[in-house]
Amino acid sequence: MKISILFSQTAIFCLLLLAACKEDDGIGDVVSDFSCITPASNDYALPFPVGTSYKLIQGTCSSFDHNTNARYAFDFAMPVGSAITAAADGEVISIEDRFADSDRARQNINYIVVEHPNLTFGRYLHVKSAGALVNLGSQVSRGDTIGYSGSAGSQQGPMLHFDVINCLGSCVQFETFSIGFFNSEPPLTNQTRDYLAVPY
């Protein structure tokens, strides 16, 4: 396991287990009843390459499991081996990619965490086994390919979970931020449908 000194193993485990993802089986808008707010600005690119589109299977403020401190999160259905791109500039501060894609244990999640200049953290969960293309300390720019999607730790098959968090105290506690994507076509809502990453 390759973990930055900024996160203890306990903190990483808690952060990931709390946000372990499952597919939402509903059609259309996801229930929004957790005092969610509309993002003030769309500062992030979709976490997949320009010209590709993927289905949002669970959006923010879901009554399924995107709620409480993990309410501002996004799950995209992505075949194993699909490229993941950085949604914002930053430094890679934590990586795990040793779990097999056949491993469904919720705590066994492969991931990449990027620290942004504003001291928030972008989390890319369910990375492919041995699928990280970056190293600890790597500087990434928005749009860089940082890894490949997988399914380790997912109960509902291959997907990418993406969110942006800030740490509270030792990072065992966290809050997700309400964010938007400036290059989504159509503009991303909680509707279960495909979203295209357009050029920027």
* CATH number at 2-197: 2.70.70.10
Backbone angles phi, psi at 111, to 5 degrees: -160, 165
Does 135 score more than 90 pLDDT?
yes
In terms of C-beta density within 10 A (0-12 exposed, 13-18 middle, 19 or more buried), how is residue 197 classed? buried
CA distance 8 to 172: 9
Torsion angles phi and psi, residue 171, rounded to 5: 80, 0
Distance from C-alpha of 17 to C-alpha of 197, rounded to nearest angstrom = 28
pLDDT digits (tens, 9 = 90+) for 44-73: 999 999 999 999 987 776 655 565 667 788
Which residues, other chains included, contact 25 with Cβ-Cβ below 8 Å and sequence gap of 6+? none
The SS3 assignment for 123 reads strand
- On the question of pLDDT at 22 being above 60, the answer is no
What share of the chain in percent tops pLDDT 70?
73
| Mean pLDDT of the chain, nearest integer | 81
Running DSSP on this structure, what letter comes out for residue 70?
A: G
Question: Whole-prediction pTM value?
Answer: 0.82
CB atoms within 10 A of CB 179: 23
Q: What is the pLDDT of residue 10?
A: 41
pLDDT per residue as tens digits for the range 141-174: 999 999 999 999 887 789 999 999 987 666 667 7
For residue 30, what pLDDT is reported? 36
Q: Which residues on neighbouring strands pair with residue 114, listed in sequence order? A: 92, 122
87-128: per-residue pLDDT in tens?
Answer: 999 999 999 999 999 988 878 999 999 999 998 999 999 999
Per-residue burial over 3-13, b = 16 or more CB atoms within 10 Å of its CB, e = otherwise: bbeebeeebbe
For residues 120-129, one letter each, b for 16 or more C-beta atoms within 10 angstroms of the residue's C-beta and e for the rest, the string is bbbbbbbbbb
